[in-house]
Amino acid sequence: MTKQAVQLIALLEQEVQTLASRLRQTEQLLQQSEERFRNLIDMSSDWYWEQDAQMRFTQAFAQRPRISTVEPKSILGLTPWELSEHWDDSKRLAFENAWASRQPFKDLESRLLAPDSPARHFLSSGKPMFDAAGEFIGYRGVTKDVTQRMRTIEDLRRFRAAMDATADAILLVDHRSLVFVDANAAACRLLGYTREELLALSAPELASASHEQLKALSGELVAGKNLGLEKVWMRHKNGSRIAVEMQRHAMRTGQDWIIVVVARDITERKRTEAALRQSQEDLRRLAAHQENIKEEERKRIAREIHDELGGVLTGIKANISVSLDRAAGAGNPPDPLLVDSAILADAAIETVRRVITDLRPSVLDQLGVWAALEWHAGQIQERTGLQCRCSISNSAAIVDLDAERSTMLFRVVQEALTNVVRHAAAAQATISVQREGNVLVVEIRDDGIGMDHRRLLDGDSWGILGMRERTRHFGGKIIINGTPGMGTAVLLHLPLEHSDVE
């Protein structure tokens, strides 16, 4: 072999080694590029695939097999239409147009059914492939499993439907910023905003509390405090105030908190309550007016009985007495009929006095309510045998009640003692009157059988109801404490704002 041939072989060997080295470097770069490509696919998708010109899958790689329910090999040779049960019409049309014009497509929605598995949802994106001559040879692309996201969207859709179905207004407020993050249809109707307008606002802009107060309340809710049912107002879009009944609680969402506000419009209820209170007040005034009329009528009847019937009976008794005196003066025995008539006349006169006293005790008008109470206690003891004692403190005795309050107080004590006589089977009763600040406290207590608390709630207890209504008209209140076997106490609290003190 010539020297030149040996040199040529050496050069060839050197060139082969150089080419081999370059080839190894190229393979390494190719492997690195492929690894980067695969990493990119792994990060951005769950599947990588390729299709031929007839849209049949020719390659498929499941980048995340743990979430895949389909073997890649099982889809080879199939078209997307053969795999998926559901295609959004607009998306399918867009895909078909892209395929026909060999254009890329993005986020094509599909749903895949696999045996014994729930349906899974996917988003696919692809680009057309062309050979060296520029001929279309298919598509390559990636598919992402969005089943969890679709389920979350569906859960949110159901949640929104449930929110919108309720009649109460529901507002979700971010714990930190106090900005509204969601609102149902009822909240929009209540406040006059669209949902989009509401979500651009914060809670302090519509609430009766300041930003600082709401921040403090939000912190308390997150700490677990139960604020209970609140009655507040919220501002309508037109600037008016809406009375609402509100409940708030904190709900954890990830690492943060959402304040859930449930509000109910009580404007109409408050109007109804105000109308009811006004109606009750009108009825009390009417009842008080009727009581005044009754008292005046009692006075009139008592006067007429005293002046007319009392005078006639007194005249009859005088005539009988004169006849008896004349018979005695003439030495004749008294006529038995006249004697009986005299006795009947005395009884009638006594009955008239009692009726007049029951209608309107004169001592009430002449000496005042305190003397009238002491007199009435004596009358009760004399007529029924019930030991009745009346005690009036010096601080109370100097109070000069007006005529209407005096009558009310006397009638309440009278009704209470009548109940003791009729129902209590008591041996003793006491009337005590004290002054506590600017309030008169009258207590009627007995040692009888006591009153069952159920009777206090009985709507048929007209005497008790009458006492309470008389007292309320003057801003007072009646408290009745009864224990079976331990007696009953009736407490009357009467403010003195409109009374004079000597």
Q: What is the DSSP string of 361-425?
A: -HHHHHT-HHHHHHHHHHHHHHHH--EEEEEE-HHHHTEE--HHHHHHHHHHHHHHHHHIIIII-
Q: Give the residue numbers spanning the domain of 103.
A: 45-142
User: What's the mean pLDDT when you consider all of the chain?
Assistant: 80
Is residue 320 in some structural domain?
A: no
Q: pLDDT tens digits for 353-369?
A: 777 767 767 777 788 88
The token pair that represents 225 in the structure block = 């405090």
Is residue 476 within 8 Å of 494, Cβ to Cβ?
yes
The token pair that represents 434 in the structure block = 């004290």
Indicate whether 89 and 215 sit together in one domain: no
Task: Band the pLDDT of 499: cuts 50, 70, 90.
Answer: very low
Is residue 150 in some structural domain?
A: no
Task: Band the pLDDT of 502: cuts 50, 70, 90.
Answer: very low
Q: Residue 236 above 60 pLDDT? A: yes
Indicate whether 477 and 374 sit together in one domain: yes
Q: Please report, for the domain that includes residue 104, its CATH number.
A: 3.30.450.20
Is residue 289 in some structural domain?
A: no
Task: Band the pLDDT of 237: cuts 50, 70, 90.
Answer: very high
Closest among 492, 497, 498 to 408, alpha carbons compared: 492
Q: pLDDT tens digits for 54-87?
A: 888 888 877 655 445 567 777 888 887 777 655 6
Indicate whether 388 and 416 sit together in one domain: yes
Of residues 45 and 498, more confidently modeled: 45
Indicate whether 116 and 246 sit together in one domain: no
Indicate whether 386 and 488 sit together in one domain: yes
User: Cα–Cα distance between 359 and 294 in angstroms, integer?
Assistant: 10
Is residue 452 within 8 Å of 484, Cβ to Cβ?
yes
Which of 265, 288, 307 corresponds to the end of one domain?
265
**Strand 120-130 relative to strand 105-112, pairing:** antiparallel
In this predicted structure, what is the pLDDT of residue 64? Answer: 58
Is residue 299 in some structural domain?
A: no
In this predicted structure, what is the pLDDT of residue 500? Answer: 42
The pLDDT of 424-444, averaged and rounded, is 91
pTM of the predicted model, to two decimals?
Answer: 0.45
Q: Please report, for the domain that includes residue 446, its CATH number.
A: 3.30.565.10
Q: Residue 4 above 90 pLDDT? A: no
Among 39-43, 51-55, 326-330, 422-426, whose mean pLDDT is lowest?
39-43
In this predicted structure, what is the pLDDT of residue 43? Answer: 45
Of residues 79 and 237, more confidently modeled: 237
Q: Residue 456 above 70 pLDDT? A: no
Indicate whether 138 and 213 sit together in one domain: no
In this predicted structure, what is the pLDDT of residue 247? Answer: 92
The CA distances from residue 411 to 22, 260, 421, 464, 467, in Å, are 122, 55, 15, 12, 8
Q: Residue 142 above 70 pLDDT? A: yes
Indicate whether 133 and 92 sit together in one domain: yes
The pLDDT of 252-266, averaged and rounded, is 86
In this predicted structure, what is the pLDDT of residue 70? Answer: 62
In this predicted structure, what is the pLDDT of residue 248? Answer: 92
The pLDDT of 191-197, averaged and rounded, is 92
Of residues 122 and 194, more confidently modeled: 194
Is residue 277 in some structural domain?
A: no
Is residue 360 in some structural domain?
A: no
The pLDDT of 116-124, averaged and rounded, is 75
Q: Residue 175 above 80 pLDDT? A: yes
User: Cα–Cα distance between 177 and 197 in angstroms, integer?
Assistant: 17
Indicate whether 49 and 16 sit together in one domain: no
Show the DSSP H helices in 305-359 as ranges.
Answer: 310-329, 336-359
In this predicted structure, what is the pLDDT of residue 190? Answer: 92
User: Cα–Cα distance between 371 and 396 in angstroms, integer?
Assistant: 12
Is residue 427 in some structural domain?
A: yes
In this predicted structure, what is the pLDDT of residue 434? Answer: 92
Indicate whether 445 and 472 sit together in one domain: yes
Indicate the number of domains in the chain.
4
pLDDT above 90 as % of the chain: 17
The pLDDT of 410-435, averaged and rounded, is 89
- The per-residue DSSP string of 480-496 comes to EEE-TTS-EEEEEEEE-
pLDDT above 70 as % of the chain: 81
Indicate whether 92 and 186 sit together in one domain: no
* Angle between helical axes of 267-304 and 462-473 (0-180°, round to 10): 100
Indicate whether 20 and 50 sit together in one domain: no
The pLDDT of 424-428, averaged and rounded, is 89
Q: Residue 429 above 90 pLDDT? A: yes
Q: pLDDT tens digits for 410-419?
A: 888 988 888 8
Is residue 155 in some structural domain?
A: no
The pLDDT of 121-130, averaged and rounded, is 86
Q: Residue 443 above 90 pLDDT? A: yes
Indicate whether 100 and 189 sit together in one domain: no
Q: What is the torsional sign of CA 405, 406, 411, 414?
A: positive
In this predicted structure, what is the pLDDT of residue 45? Answer: 56
Length of the chain: 502
Of residues 25 and 45, more confidently modeled: 25
Task: Band the pLDDT of 9: cuts 50, 70, 90.
Answer: low
